[in-house]
Amino acid sequence: MNLGLDDPARTAELSGYVWSVAWLANLLPNTSFAFTPVFGGPTLEGSAAASLRVRLLPLVAAFLRAYSKKSFRAFLREVRR
């Protein structure tokens, strides 16, 4: 993340606030946070990426367990209409 304000002193102050909170993000596993102050003028640039892992077997098992109930099948028929 690149962040700059119109005043270099305000940019430095904001940098201190951001870094004082950013360490929390770095405590999480597989997480990193980078911040660069830009003292040349108003700037806001950044990017983010994330990944998600889902185990499908418990989801499929729960759906099949629910689908075995007549009331759930009736609910699905209503939703399709």
SS (H, E, C) the chain: CEEECCCHHHHHHHHHHHHHHHHHHHHCCCCCCCCEECCCCCEEECCCCCCCCCCHHHHHHHHHHHHCCHHHHHHHHHHHC
Going residue by residue through the chain (81 aa), what tens digit of pLDDT does each one get? 888 999 999 989 988 888 888 777 766 677 777 788 989 889 889 887 777 788 999 999 999 999 999 999 999 999 988
Structural domain harbouring 35: 2-47+54-80
**Crossing angle for the helix pair 70-80 and 56-67, nearest 10 degrees?**
100
Count: domains in the chain: 1
Judge if pTM exceeds 0.75: no
